[in-house]
Amino acid sequence: MTDVRVAEGLKAAMRRMPGPVALVTTADPVDGAYAGLAASAVIPVSMEPPSMLVAVNRGASAHTTLAHAGRFCINLLCTGQTDLVRLFSDSTRRAERFAGEGWRDRDGLPWLPAACASIFCTVETTQHFGTHALFVGAVDGVIAGAGAEPMGWIEGDFARMLGLQTQPA
């Protein structure tokens, strides 16, 4: 049994760590129906071979589709795309998620050209841990947006992710 104080302490600590905001998208291998979720738990695993990890709550509607599809796209969002995050975070609006004109299809996977970057992956391994499934995907392709400002998540809110300007000594 998890000590509630430890869990709350970890939650408070992690709220202070900035993270990316992404839409993880996939498609049902049988009928091609798109599925997706908003995520901040996406990280690179290795550059050799190029690979990414996404942590998905096993209760999320897209979890089963992603597990069966074996492929996903990480769409790293830009500032100004908070409406998309809200849409993908609201299970009652699931049918609206891909209704907009901004989505494109690449080999059966939905991707967002307006994202800061879209990273296409094939699942190499899946590990269940607690409430989540950890999907490690080999990177098959990357499409980077031009000049977009990345969106982050910190202290329970959206944030601009700007590089630090270092001053010469």
The pLDDT score that the predictor gives to residue 7 is: 78
The pLDDT score that the predictor gives to residue 65 is: 95
Question: 15-71 pLDDT, tens per residue?
Answer: 777 678 899 999 999 999 999 999 988 999 999 999 999 999 999 989 999 999 999
Q: Return the C-alpha torsion angle 71, 36, 78, 133, nearest 10.
A: -70
Tell whether the model's pLDDT for residue 145 goes beyond 80. Answer: no
The encoded tokens of residue 109 equal 């996977």
The encoded tokens of residue 89 equal 């975070």
The pLDDT score that the predictor gives to residue 167 is: 55
Give the global pTM: 0.88
Q: Work out the angle at residue 62's Cα, subtended by the Cα atoms of residues 58 and 66, and round it to the nearest 5 degrees.
A: 90
Question: 68-121 pLDDT, tens per residue?
Answer: 999 999 999 999 899 999 999 998 898 999 997 789 999 999 999 999 999 999
Phi-psi group of 9: left, alpha or beta (phi > 0 → left; psi -120 to 50 → alpha; rest → beta): alpha
